[in-house]
Amino acid sequence: MKTLFLPFWTGVSMSADDLSNFSMMDLFRAEVETHVAVLNTSLLGLERDPSSKTLLESLMRAAHSIKGAARIVQFDAGVQVAHALEDCFVAAQSGKVALRPDHMDVLLSCVDLLGRLASVNEADLQEWQRAHAPEIGECVSSIAAISSGGPSADPILEKAAALPSSALPEEILPPVTEDRHATLLGQTVRVDAGNLNRLMALAGEAMIAAGSLEPYLLSLRQLKSAETGLAASLERLTNSLESMAKNHTAQQHLTEMRQKMDQLRQSVSDRLSEMETLSRRSSTLSGRLYREALASRMRPFGEGVTAFPRMVRDLARALKKKVRLEVTGKSTRVDRDILEKLEAPLNHLLRNALDHGIESPEEREAAGKTPEALLALQAHHRAGMLQVTVSDDGRGVRFDQLRQKLMDKGLVSSEIAEKLTQQELLEFLFLPGFSTSDRVTEISGRGVGLDVVYNMVAEVGGTVRIVAQPGKGMTFHLDLPLTLSVMRALLVEIAGEPYAFPLSRVDLTRMVQHKEIRVQDGKKFFLQDGEEIEMILAHEVLELQGSNPGPGDAPVIVISDQLNRYALRIDRFLGQKDLVVRPLDQRLGKLQDIQAATILEDGTVALIVDVQDFVRSIDNRLRRGRARAIAAAAESLVPAKTRRKRILIVDDSGAVREAERRLLESRGYAVDTAVNGMDGWNAVRARNYDLVLTDMDMPRMNGVELVLRIREDARLRELPVIVVSYKDREEDRKKGIEAGANLYITKGSIHEDTLAGAVAGLIGEP
């Protein structure tokens, strides 16, 4: 169960009883973690500015605080190490010793030891101290040697120095923990992450409940309007009767009616005023509650990257490289869940840059660069999104080498490789198991990392792109939502139901006049800034029962991905809203074109569209429809004996689909493609194929499920199927064959002849 330490907000008073549920060891761990972060940051700063009195003061105070806390919980080892560090920093403050870079190595390794001390369970404390007594003693002795001005040595770093840089073990790098405490500002309270999520959900419901008062307020206003009209009618009736013969009884009734009408008017006015006050107060309070709950989920970007400066520093020294890490945008507010998910991808990007991208000082000088490389990590808000950028000024990507690597791995033929653009080549870097390195180290080169980045970004509904220049460096741009809990969305009506499109993924909204709509070859489109944008009915993509619109102006929203852009015709616009995102029940799996749901102010449920999935569905629908029409027309004219054999490629990687398509088409086969298992299942039922090539790991339906469905269908069960996967374990191969695949081929081991030969072996030549 994850636990968060949150700073007390200004203006919120907490008594000492608030911490009574926490053991002294819990409080010790929280304090040590905070001060260890200060020690790490300040030592790295002191390495660049050895004369900084401010940093030395910060270091001395942090060590002193840890010593006091360790003494309270009777943690003797912590007292010894912290006391030695404090003495060292006091000596440096007084000028008795000058801290050198080799001293920093020793001091940082001892700070790591303090961090490990704080993670020990209370029950194991004494045993842990006995088992690590030699290491603790060496640490204290090394610090004492520095304090006295004598030589120092660090056994851990000496062992690392004896190893080749390509075999650097993970142990000397600070571990990247999954859940890192926030910096403690004064007192803290420990909050379970699940409670925080529930608080956020309740705050959202409070906003919805406050909004539900609006219909009642509207009803009262309508009642007030009706009462005003009734009073006017009564007044006209009174005037009419006064011109007639006076009837005392009628006059008495009119007087009573006037009195009751005045009472009713006053009562309605009072209730309306009270309801308006209640609605306004409820809306204000629920809004404040929601913003505070949301703020509790938002953390500064800097809190998620505290371990990176130390990791970069240690790894650069082990690789004998000079690297300066610059982190900008530390105060940028980021959703806690996104910040947590960012940790592993950013770690991979930084390590890959250090190992592959950045050259040695000698190489850099020979290339006319400064010996010290720049590695930059930036975060900022842009167009309602969080943009995180990782860049270096290293060697970049050699595109000729990348082309050769693709051919060596059998991913593309030489003819196709030469036609690939630089951006298409870079997309291959995100493939699982793909690496440009010929050596496998503990740092990188295993072919993992960039696929982790891609999967994480796609999981939260973001995008990632690469910019690379040979000899000048490489940049990764990650565009992510600011929070997973709330989004600014465009509400529209489709087939009578509300749907929400994330505003950051909407390119354009407009009313297209009827005279602007053109039709050519069965395709409807209009011109926008000289670009032809094809129109499609939204309810058809969602497979809903909707009526075809008649002539008239068309409300459209324009959405796109990296390759395609479409105009989606909807029923009408409902406006922009900040929506509380409700994840769908996991038992539903991934719903086609939908990413989440929300509840509107009137209690109506609206589905939130997965724009990238939606664009793929549109593209596939249009492409398949045209392909069927063309194929039907062509096949009706061609004798059966001369028709080309048709193959369906099912893979969620655009690069792999394109490579396999070009290879098989170059051999004479007719090829269609599908972007995932569900898309492939729909395609294989709609058209006759001679063979299916499918990946294993895909969204919405994996390869095994696709093969099982094909084998369960009486019409399709004899259709040949080849699984082409990166998984090369025997259990994976067995799973594919048992599902009913005719062949199981590993992508990393195939060449163009292997794949073409396997296809020809099953279905013959084209």
What is the CATH number for 472? 3.30.565.10
CA distances from 368 to 117, 178, 361, 371, 372 (A): 46, 40, 11, 9, 12
Query: 595: which strand partners?
Result: none
Nearest to 247 by CA among 257, 258, 260, 238: 238
At 517, the amino acid letter reads: I
CA distances from 239 to 228, 242, 246, 529 (A): 17, 5, 12, 65
Please indicate, yes or no, if residue 171 is contained in any of the structural domains: no
Q: Are residues 426 and 529 both part of a single domain?
A: no
What's the pLDDT band for 361 if we cut at 50, 70, 90?
Answer: very high
d(CA 603, CA 606): 9
What's the pLDDT band for 11 if we cut at 50, 70, 90?
Answer: very low
Q: Are residues 520 and 453 both part of a single domain?
A: no
Q: Are residues 367 and 459 both part of a single domain?
A: yes
CB burial string 263-295: b at 16+ within 10 A, e below: eeeeebeeeeeebeeebeebbeebeebbeebbe
CA distances from 141 to 88, 117, 148, 257, 725 (A): 11, 18, 11, 100, 54
Please indicate, yes or no, if residue 632 is contained in any of the structural domains: no
Q: Are residues 377 and 361 both part of a single domain?
A: yes
Please indicate, yes or no, if residue 239 is contained in any of the structural domains: yes
What domain range includes position 520? 486-616
Q: The domain spanning residue 17 has which CATH number?
A: 1.20.120.160
Q: Can you read off the two tokens belonging to residue 16?
A: 């000492």
What's the pLDDT band for 368 if we cut at 50, 70, 90?
Answer: very high
Domain boundary among 481, 509, 532: 481
Calculate mean pLDDT across residues 459-479.
Answer: 86
Q: Are residues 344 and 454 both part of a single domain?
A: yes
Mean pLDDT, the chain, rounded, equals: 78
Between 353 and 256, name the one with better pLDDT: 353
Instruction: Report CA torsion sign: 39, 45, 51, 53.
Output: negative
d(CA 330, CA 309): 13
Q: Are residues 153 and 199 both part of a single domain?
A: no
Q: The domain spanning residue 575 has which CATH number?
A: 2.40.50.180
Each residue of 300-327: pLDDT tens digit? Answer: 898 888 888 988 988 998 899 999 999 9
Please indicate, yes or no, if residue 313 is contained in any of the structural domains: no
| pTM for the model | 0.56
Domain boundary among 433, 453, 481: 481
Q: Are residues 337 and 472 both part of a single domain?
A: yes
Calculate mean pLDDT across residues 265-273.
Answer: 79
Of 280-284, 501-505, 553-557, the one with minimum mean pLDDT is 280-284
Q: What is the number of domains present in the chain?
A: 5
Please indicate, yes or no, if residue 743 is contained in any of the structural domains: yes
Q: Are residues 281 and 351 both part of a single domain?
A: no
Of 230-239, 398-407, 635-644, 724-733, the one with minimum mean pLDDT is 635-644
pLDDT > 70: percent of the chain: 81
d(CA 359, CA 321): 7
Q: What letter does residue 643 receive in the DSSP assignment?
A: P
Please indicate, yes or no, if residue 183 is contained in any of the structural domains: no
Q: Can you read off the two tokens belonging to residue 762?
A: 């099953």
Q: Are residues 490 and 579 both part of a single domain?
A: yes
pLDDT for position 178: 35
Q: Are residues 334 and 454 both part of a single domain?
A: yes
pLDDT for position 119: 77
Q: Are residues 369 and 465 both part of a single domain?
A: yes
Please indicate, yes or no, if residue 186 is contained in any of the structural domains: no
pLDDT for position 623: 66
User: Is 463:473 a contact under the CB 8 Å cutoff?
Assistant: no
Please indicate, yes or no, if residue 682 is contained in any of the structural domains: yes
What's the pLDDT band for 211 if we cut at 50, 70, 90?
Answer: low
Q: Are residues 369 and 241 both part of a single domain?
A: no
Each residue of 99-128: pLDDT tens digit? Answer: 887 888 888 888 888 888 777 777 777 788
Q: The domain spanning residue 676 has which CATH number?
A: 3.40.50.2300
Contacts of 523 (CB under 8 A, 6+ apart): 534
